[in-house]
Each structure stands twice: as structure tokens, then as C-alpha cells.
Structure 1
């Protein structure tokens, strides 16, 4: 990633130094372009350099996932399993892709909890229903994916991207205001006014504001998680999602309960108990 960031930073500094007082507009468009390019190339070309990705084998689970995608018009093109068990017990699933070229990735730890996986292991999606906390059942994996598909259905990823870019534009505007104020640099011990140093100082100055903004954004993120859980519940996966969440929290060594104030300031997901309680309410409402 450092190899990628160095040329990006060089171009950014060049834009700041050569495009005049309105540089923040050009810099902002450049950051948006870089973000879109990275979202395109990182999953397909960068991440496979560090992890092993394999297609999910034909079987019951693959058919269920494909049926789930069709039921909500999700344009699924690829269904992969990533060998994450070599590094941790962390279990998860995620999606990526633009427009009609979508991919779903499942962590192999959803099926098996092993710290070491043989190089020749073949991923088997047919997890037995009685395997308990050794792995998720087919329906539990579908419930997890239904939650993730809820984020897509409600455009949560796009919302987060837009919010991030608006915040970046605001940061650039603040930097443009302070960029040529020598007192700011002198206050931090700099006699010259390097662009990178100025940008770093502005980030430090904005840290208090960013912390307050983070609390608002975390609340918004938790609301999105509840919405995605409700979406899964509407697809009749409430019970399976509840049992899957319990397994994921055990496998990921997550705390099921935290102080409410600490959660407000630090967590972008509701606690396990909060989500289970909400899912029970959704289940009652959807009956």
C-alpha cells in the first residue's frame, strides 16, 4: 500500500501547488477518482496477493445463496471463499463490485474454526446442521449474507462513501483557509510551510471536531446495522441470524455487552444483546 500511496501523495501535492486558490476542488475530485479506482482494483488485484481466494463449490449452499440473490435482484457474478483461517478465527462475509458485476466473499472460518489450514484443503460448503459452534449452518450463512445484502439494498455503502467525500471536501476547505497562515506553522515549530506538514497540522486541529462528528456517524452506522438486520428478518432469516451472530461473537472473541456511553463513542455496530433484542422485535412485527 505504501507503494501505491507515494505516487498518489505526489500527485496530490502537485495539485495543491499548481491549481491556485481553488485547489481544494481539484484535489477533491482527484481523491474521489483515486477512491473509485482503489475500490475497483484492490479486491481483484491487491487482496489476492495476501490471501487465497477460491470459488465456492457447487452444492446446496451455493444454490441457496444464488436463490437469495435472485429474490432481491442482486446481480451476483462471483461467489468466493477466502482462506482467512491461517491468520485468525475472525469470521465474516463481504461484497464488492460496481453495477452488475457483484461478488460475494465468504471467510472460510464461517465453515471451520482452524488456526492452520492445509495447503491442499478443499472448501466444503455442506456444513452439517449439528456442527454447532464449529461452524455456521447453510441457513445461518444465508442469514449473514441477507444482512450484508441489506446494506446493498438500502445503499448504505454509497451513503458512507458520500459522507466520507463530503467530510474530505470540508477538510480541504479548512486546509485552504489555513494553508498560507505562517503563525500556524510557527506555532508547531516550522519556519517554512510544507504542504504535507500543513495538512497534518490541520488534521490535528480538526481532531476535536472529528471526534464529535465520529459520534454522530457511529450512531448513523448503528442505525444502518439495525436496518440490515431487519432486512434479513423480512427474508425470514431472523432466527438463523440470531444464532449466527452468537457464533460469530464467540469465534471473534467479541464482548456481548458494553457500556452505552463507550459504545456511542467507539462502536459502529450495536452490541450482540442489542441486536438480538431488536431481531426478536422484528420477528414479532413480521409475523
Structure 2
């Protein structure tokens, strides 16, 4: 084991092995999903009143097209290119190229070299993924009708997104390299405390930032819905003033409601797209907002969804999720700190002895070396979040909203164009929520246990 850990050649083959096996496993899971989707040609009976067969067929075709594209793209871009890049020393090549771009002496500082390296690497990744990106945009018909844009506008939008992403990456790289450079052996704690500080800041600012980002807060004008929500919040001792309706800017965001926050900053947010016809009744407003008539939930079903969200609050899921996130972050950075200073890892991908660029260390260790840990932690966290959903459903069931919650789930999956069938093994590795059929089965089981 010591020989393996210290031999650059063996380490290279271990990293290549991790890359290949991880993607072969992903391919196996995706093939299971594809086979299952091929087998289901008709709308499940329980969904038939809410989902037309022709729409189901479109959703099925989209799922299959997207899945096959992802499978082929994974082999071509991730596996083949990834193996070639690692084996032939691509990262040292780009690092040396960054050094040649440092035309002034002050640019030879590692922070500057790291920024140049990231820019060059981003250009390469963009070019490498461009064919697949174009195919995905132009050849896979979207299920959602997006506003039509001119080709020039779309190109400018993509360029703007790329520039903004690059600027954000430059800021992150600068902070990370500076922390590692100036904290030395204590960089692990510095990174953890910085991440902890940013997480805490996000929790504090989220209630004040999220509304303007999503849309505009509007009062609950429907007296029946307002009375039902007041009754529900009174029963559960949740402040009604923290239940907000947001008129979303982009109706394609889907019908949704969610709970977030802690203590006095907690709140439940309901998208207006969750309400039947976005909560509008006036014909002029319906036309102005371009509302899909019949989309959304009736009042009783909206209340059932809010009861589900209150289940997340009552069970402390936000605190548990944050605790789980902190533990995972600490373990990730601890494992990273063990691998980061190890010279043979850098030599394995082509660097000379003693050359250990900070930014490359982050890319290689987080992108390849720690993949087995990420796979395990991801499955555990996804399993926990799915259990959270079942617990929240059970809470709504105990409050007496089982029937309306069933209808709400069926309608929401149909409205949001979420394909209702998923392989259980694939779902355990990819989905934060159980499928609608799994959730309905749990509710039926609760009915049987209580009958």
C-alpha cells in the first residue's frame, strides 16, 4: 500500500481506474433507467386523469433522447478525453502555457498564474463541450415553450453567462489560493471556517434575497385559501406571516412550494404557479400573464402541500440537512488535506518533482482522487433527503390531508412535466425526492396501517 501511495506511475493508473469505473457505474445506472423507460409505454393508471397519453409520450421521448445523449457524451467527453488528458500530461501543459502568458514579473505570483490557468482551462472545456452543448440545445426538443430569441441574442446570452461564470471562478480561485498560500499547514481549517462563514451568511441573507430573485411577493387574495392556511398554521403553531406567495418571473420554473430558514428567519414560499391558474380570475390578467388554463392546484390541495412543508419544519429537516452538510464538508476537506501535499499525485499526472500548483491540486483531488468518497457520501445524503420527504408526507397524512396530498402530487408531476417512472437503483444515486409512485405507495401503506 505504501508503494502504491508513493509510486507516481501506479497512482496514475489508480486515478484512471477510478475515472473509468465511476463512469461505467454511472453508465450501468443510466442503462437501467433507459430500459425501464422503454418498457413503460402507457400512462400509469393512477396518473391517467391528470396526464394525457400524448404528453406522456413526449415526456418519454425527451427522457430517452436526453439519456442516450448523456450516455454518449459521458463516454466521449468525460471518459475518453479525461483519460487522454491525465495520461499525456494535459494539466502540466496548460500550467506551463499559463507561465508563458505571464509576461510581467508580477504575474508570476501563484495567484496570477492560477487565474491564467483557470481561464485557459475554461476556454478548453468550453470548446470541448461545445458540440454536445449545441446538439442538446438544437436537437433535443424541450418540453417547455421558452420565449423565442434571435440567434444573436442567444449567442450573446451564452457569452454573458460564460463571462459571469468565469469572473466568479476567478474570485473563488483567488480566495482559495490566497488561503492556502498564507495559512500554510492550517489551510484546512481556514477553508472550513471560510465555508462555514459563507454558509451562515447565506442562511441569514436568504430570506431577504430569495424573494427578489424569484419574483415579487403578493398578498393571498383568495379568502378561502387564506382561511384554510390560517387554520393550518394555527394547528401547527407556525406563524402565518411567514407564509408567502411569490409571483414568479419565469412560469417555467414549475409549480413549487418549499420551506427554508431557521428561527425567526424561517418561511414557507409558495410559487403562484402552484395555484390554479396562478391564482388569477380576471380574463384580462389571465391573458396578460399567458396562463395555461387548468394548470395548478385547487385550494385544498395547496393547503395539503403546505402541510407537507410544515412537516419539514416540525421534523427539523433544515437543521439536520445543515448538520449533514457541515459534517460532509469537514470530512471532505480533511481528506483533501491528507492528499493535497502529497507530491506523487502531481507527478502522476505529469508534473516534475517539487511542482505542486495549488489550483491543479484542487482540480485533481476533488475531480478524481476523492471520487469514491463523493460517491458514498452522495448516496447517503440522497437517501436521507428522500426519507425527509417521506416524513413530511407522513406529517401531512397525520393532519388529515392524505387525500388532497395524493391529488396534489399527481397534478404537480403532470404540470411540471416530471417523468413519473424511475429505476429504484438509479433514483437512489441521483434523486433528492422519491418518485410520485413511490410517495403514493407510502401514503397507501400508511392508510393500511391506520385502517
Partner of 1:176: 337
1:194 pairs, out of 349, 357, 364, with 357
Bigger mean CA offset, 223-232 vs 10-19: 10-19
Residue pair 2:211, 2:217 contacting (<8 A) in 1 also: no
Partner of 2:430: 266
CA distance in 2, matches of 1:270, 1:89: 20
Residue pair 2:214, 2:248 contacting (<8 A) in 1 also: no
CA distance in 2, matches of 1:154, 1:5: 36
Partner of 2:246: 82
Please, which runs of 5 or more residues in structure 2 have no aligned partner? 1-163, 287-292
1:185 pairs, out of 327, 337, 346, with 346
Partner of 1:129: none
2:394 pairs, out of 230, 238, 253, with 230
The structural deviation recorded for 1:227 is: 0.8
Partner of 1:154: 315
CA distance in 1, matches of 2:364, 2:389: 34
Q: Which has the higher Rg, Structure 1 or Structure 2?
A: 2
Partner of 1:128: none
The structural deviation recorded for 1:250 is: 0.2
Partner of 1:143: 304
Q: Deviations over 1:43-72 (max 9, x none)?
A: 422551453332333622123223222222
Number of residue pairs aligned between Structure 1 and Structure 2: 274
Residue 146 and residue 17 in structure 1: after superposition, are their counterparts in 2 closer, same or farther (change >3 A)? same
1:34 matched to 2:198 = yes
Partner of 2:366: 203
CA distance in 2, matches of 1:5, 1:38: 18
Bigger mean CA offset, 50-59 vs 155-164: 50-59
1:101 matched to 2:265 = yes
The structural deviation recorded for 1:20 is: 3.4
1:278 matched to 2:442 = yes
Compare the two structures and name the one with the higher helix fraction.
Answer: 2
CA distance in 2, matches of 1:13, 1:187: 22
Q: Secondary structure at the match of 1:19?
A: helix
Residue 50 and residue 253 in structure 1: after superposition, are their counterparts in 2 closer, same or farther (change >3 A)? closer
Bigger mean CA offset, 50-59 vs 237-246: 50-59
Q: Deviations over 1:95-143 (max 9, x none)?
A: 23331233221111112458xxx9x959xxxxxxxxx953211111111
CA distance in 2, matches of 1:77, 1:12: 40
CA distance in 1, matches of 2:348, 2:227: 63
Q: Deviations over 1:158-178 (max 9, x none)?
A: 112111111111121122122
2:411 pairs, out of 240, 247, 254, with 247
Residue pair 1:95, 1:105 contacting (<8 A) in 2 also: yes
Please, which runs of 5 or more residues in structure 1 have no aligned partner? 123-131
Bigger mean CA offset, 249-258 vs 9-18: 9-18
1:63 pairs, out of 208, 227, 247, with 227
Residue pair 2:276, 2:294 contacting (<8 A) in 1 also: no
Bigger mean CA offset, 273-282 vs 62-71: 62-71
CA distance in 1, matches of 2:220, 2:350: 56
Q: Secondary structure at the match of 1:77?
A: helix
Structure with more relative contact order (C-alpha pairs < 8 Å, separation 6 or more): 2
